[in-house]
Amino acid sequence: MDRLWTDFVNSDYHDWRGGDRSEDRLGRTEWQQEFLKQWQLKAPIPASPEEERTLRSFRGKLHALATRLSAGNPLLDEDQEWLNSMMEEGKVTRRLHSGDEGLRLSHIPVGTQWQQVMAEVAGDFAITVVEGDGGRIRICDNTDCRWIFYDDTRSRTQKYCDDKMCGNLMKVRRFRAKRKVNQKQK
């Protein structure tokens, strides 16, 4: 399941098939438009060069924090302070909605700047850590991919960001390596 924060962090694309193609999608206008639309956020497009630098720095810190949590390390006091400072930049309006499933409370972002977007991303990450489990944050076992995801499987054993793409690719690689070893032994 995609989450706001994983979608943001994974904007630094690496070719999961092992090619040397990589792309920082954060600076692409098309990516910015699609990201904001998908997550119902607003900010001026394209982001200014200064905003892009700030977004990249934020993404780098969030990636490093997710990586530490995926290794089983706890959330430190300074991590909490940093997340709090990022979330303070975003103001929200709370709205109660009724629907088929009963009442629901939503937080609607008030700001329309990239700082608000970063606050929403930080807030979504904080929700993941508080309501979920930081130990379920994973980095895809395909070393070419580097995708970060949240393992929401019951068994907590998900290794790949996508079983059909990275999972199959790694299965084929293991099979071919094993077959190669077996052929050499004959």
- What number is the average pLDDT over the span 152-174? 63
Tens digits of residue pLDDT in 36-94: 999 999 999 999 999 999 999 999 999 999 999 988 898 999 999 999 999 998 888 88
pLDDT at 159: 66
The H or E element that residue 53 is part of is: helix 49-70
* Domains (range + CATH), the chain: 4-185 (1.10.3300.10)
Q: Name the percent of the chain lying above pLDDT 70.
A: 80
- What number is the average pLDDT over the span 122-150? 84
Dihedral sign (CA 45, 46, 49, 51)? positive
Report the candidate in 115, 126, 147 with the shortest Cα–Cα distance to residue 50: 115
pLDDT at 14: 62
Confidence at 32, pLDDT banded by 50, 70, 90: very high
Structure tokens at 45: 């497009």
Cα–chain center distance at 14 = 14
pLDDT at 58: 97
pLDDT at 88: 92
**Terminal CA-CA length for the chain:** 45
Confidence at 151, pLDDT banded by 50, 70, 90: confident
Judge whether 12 and 25 are in contact, CB under 8 Å.
yes
